[in-house]
Amino acid sequence: MKKIIVCVLAVFGLALWADAGIRIGLMGGYASMSEYGGGIAYGGTIGIDLMKYVAVEIKGTRFQGGTYAGSADGLSQGVMTRMPIEFHIQGRFPLMNGKLIPYLTVGGGFGLNSFEVDPELVSSWSDLGMTISEKVENKIFIPAIGLGLDFAIMPNFVVNLEGRYLMGKTDGSWSLIDNDSSLEATGTLADLNLSTIVFGLGFKFQF
């Protein structure tokens, strides 16, 4: 983890030293998880042009799925929330004197995942004298690939359109505690599919 952070900082430091172009932006959009439904996505980016056709970018995105119906061998009814932080390398292809830049982005990152069991389900089991809890693990590396388009409507202002596919599976666990005896039953949930498609529209300030 430390090595990854050091590498990323080194790249950005090198870029600043070389007086490369920097873009800072915000985005909003929609994320659709293959298993856990879709919802609004939002986040921010910092990008640096390393050379004419290559840039690097750090993205932080947060999105929440819909109400997952639950499955016998997976998570129960509830809502999945993810917050991946990704590092990407972009292959950029400037058109119209650099005003329009389609790009291909490849990368991956660290994903913070959380799952909230349906409050009604938790409450109904609380009425039975038992406490339900479920959680999903965070994975170090989430591979991601996507396509985007930067359109510079002013010299320092870029409108951005991007779609990405985040791959990856993770593990989870569940627990049922009897409140009267404190007995606990636990189990693990393997290979929870967290694959997600994110579409976003954003803007960037370019320096």
Partner 1 sequence: MKKSKRNPVILGLSVLALGVLLLAPNKLTLQSVLPDAPPPMVVSVNPTVDMVKNPKLDGPLGSLVGTYLTQGADAARDLAFNRHLSYTNDEIQVIVESAPGSTALNSYAQTEVLKRQIQNLGGVVEMSYKAEIQCQADIPLIYALTQNPLVKFVRLPFTVHPMYTSEGVASTKANVWQPATAYRGPGAGTNTAVLDLGFMGYSSLLGTELPSSVTTRSFRTDGNVSYGSVHGTACAEIVHDMAPNAPMWLVNFSTELQHHSAVDYMIQQGVKVVSYSLGWYNAGDGKGTGPIDEDVKKFKDSGGVWATSAANEAKNHWEGTFSDTNGNRYHNFEPTNEIIYWYVPSYTLTAAFLNWDDWGTWNASSLTYSGSNNDYDMYLYYYYGGAWYLADTSMGYQTGSQRPVEAIGYWYANISTYWGIVVYRYSTNRNCKLELFSYGNSSSILYNIEEGSLLQPSDSASAITAGAVDWSNDDRPYYSSKGPTHDNRTKPDFMAPTRISTSSYGALNFAGTSTSSPHVAGAFALLKEKTPFTMDQIQQILEARAKDLGTAGKDNTYGAGSLRLIKD
Binding site for partner 1 (CB under 8 A): 72, 76, 121, 124-125, 127-130, 132, 174, 176, 178, 180-181, 183, 185, 187
Residue 5 or 185 with smaller CB distance to partner 1: 185
Q: In this structure, what are the phi and psi dihedrals at residue 122, rounded to the nearest 5 degrees?
A: -60, -40
Q: How far is the CB of 168 from partner 1 (least distance, A)?
A: 25
Q: How far is the CB of 156 from partner 1 (least distance, A)?
A: 55
Residue 85 or 130 with smaller CB distance to partner 1: 130
Which residue from 133, 87, 136 is spatially nearest to 110, judged by alpha carbons? 87
Q: How far is the CB of 185 from partner 1 (least distance, A)?
A: 4
Q: In this structure, what are the phi and psi dihedrals at residue 167, rounded to the nearest 5 degrees?
A: -95, 175
Cβ-based neighbours of 38, under 8 Å, separated by 6 or more: 30, 31, 32, 65, 66
User: What is the distance between the alpha carbons of residues 67 and 81, in angstroms, rounded to a whole number?
Assistant: 11
User: What is the distance between the alpha carbons of residues 64 and 164, in angstroms, rounded to a whole number?
Assistant: 16
Residue 134 or 162 with smaller CB distance to partner 1: 134
Q: How far is the CB of 136 from partner 1 (least distance, A)?
A: 16
**202: its two tokens:** 């954003």
**20: its two tokens:** 């490369």
Residue 6 or 128 with smaller CB distance to partner 1: 128
